[in-house]
Structure 1
């Protein structure tokens, strides 16, 4: 059916992601993904990329103090990192997008608020011509050792969202297969 072209982990919400060759996937998604949020230390309010677009250019290093210092310099104000806690309502464990969807978006078929340059997906897929991941809603998919159930298309992003059915490791190059209805 296709293959895993790229894996990305976004350790800090609203920051740029890191490409990885392999990832452990559990019920909450890729290990370490969106585990931290950026917080204003004075108010305790979350700082997001919508209010501070420069955040999207910062790649988290995994060192909380260094990442907070870099963000403070980029934003021109103090910030701190805090554990993300429970997933946000409507959030999905895994975000998948095909290269074809990225190509369609680059040609102008893109939801408002979404970027063809950075779809912020965890898993980018190479699919055969004509295959469209949006047709997988309600289906189960195997990515290497991992099985996910595709639940819906995102409102403001490319691709599809999925919940993890069977944990394991997924690697760049792993086959992508539809399993069952």
Structure 2
């Protein structure tokens, strides 16, 4: 109910001047989009907070960072069973559909949808060819993830820009609909880090 009301209000141009969901391609001066100015490919961070403070991503939890209807970064963390990380190419699962994605992520328990703001933003980035930043978290799930940190520490690594080349609905491993995104690493960047 609250979500429906929020969406209705967001569409009201009299309240906001322009409907919040209207697609307006980001300009090249918005530092949230494109290659970050002060972060090099392969640079690591000890926490999601540090990633946010560096300006790579705007959330300390969400996987998809977005602004004004477009995604500008994702974190690959191994939280979705359907993610496939091939290094130069990623098959990324959208957000939503888990029973408790904050504390105990697990298998899907309901369908995902492109109506979810974050999934819609990544879809818009695909449609308008807006490259996104990819940050990988240390994990057992991928040989392309940075090495596991010791103790309770975590490691996040900025791995460069990727183009969202395809977005589609698919059936996930748990049998529910998932939003899928194919990401391909942009050319003319330093090589993908290997540790």
Larger strand proportion of the pair: 1
TM-score w.r.t. length of structure 2: 0.28
TM-score w.r.t. length of structure 1: 0.29
